[in-house]
Amino acid sequence: MPSRYAVIGHPIEHSRSPVIHAAFARQTGQDLVYDRILGRLDDFAGDVQRFFAAGGAGLNVTVPFKEQAWALADERSPYAETAGAVNTLSRLPDGRLRGDNTDGAGLVRDLAGNHGFAFAGRRVLLLGAGGAARGVLRPLLDAGVTELAIANRTAAKAEALAAAAAAFGPVRGGGFDGFAGAGFDLILNATSAGLGGALPALPAGCLSAGGWVYDLVYGPASVPFLDWGRSQGAAVVLDGLGMLVEQAAESFLLWRGVRPETAEVIAELRRAMAR
């Protein structure tokens, strides 16, 4: 009997996770099924309990349930603990639930493995101080950056997030205007501004000559920030589709003990989006 996995969120119809994991399963010869679950806003814990009670082996968790998944987990990985959010739930042999957060590992793997970005010695600016930023913060520090700066509309929120992560590496936070002229090697957009067709309040001179820009989302929501990067002469401009596939590969590795190849899966999703 195939092992059962799923992604749970609200809404969920748009999720590409079933397509991604089906491709991973074919590639690696794994016997599994992977579904979508529309989570109930008033009973997420019940949905999770019912899934695992029926023999489910693992769940991916997407908005708006990642913080609730963190609270449900009986044990958590260091990345999940720091993020305060869980995107991967696994059933342990004793029936308890383990929570992981693979978002940051997926981001780092996409940039370094797929695009050749060398984190060591680089200065990185992370835009936003919400859940998306928390999910990638510690993996970025572990990648060996010289400095990680967090810019947020509310400076105090960025400063608090930086203080919470200070034990893991060189990190500071502040308002957007505090980073004018700073010339970062990589700017990561973890804000939701693009969902409304807007840009974060980016200060002049925050991107270095030859710097890279990367939006954690993909599709139309990434367009304003990526267009800004092109207008600033960015050497490389990337959306988050690769991160989506790489974080899924990290979950697949946790569940199945084998790491799938991601390049063709990313390419096929690009082709599908173009169609």
Catalytic residues: 66
SS (HEC) of 223-266: HHHHHHHHHCCCCEEECCHHHHHHHHHHHHHHHHCCCCCCHHHH
φ, ψ at 158 (rounded to 5°): -65, -40
DSSP class of 191: S
3-state helix, strand, coil in the chain (%, to 5): 45, 25, 35
How many Cβ atoms are within 10 Å of 44's Cβ, its own excluded?
20
Q: Which of helix, strand or coil describes residue 53?
A: helix
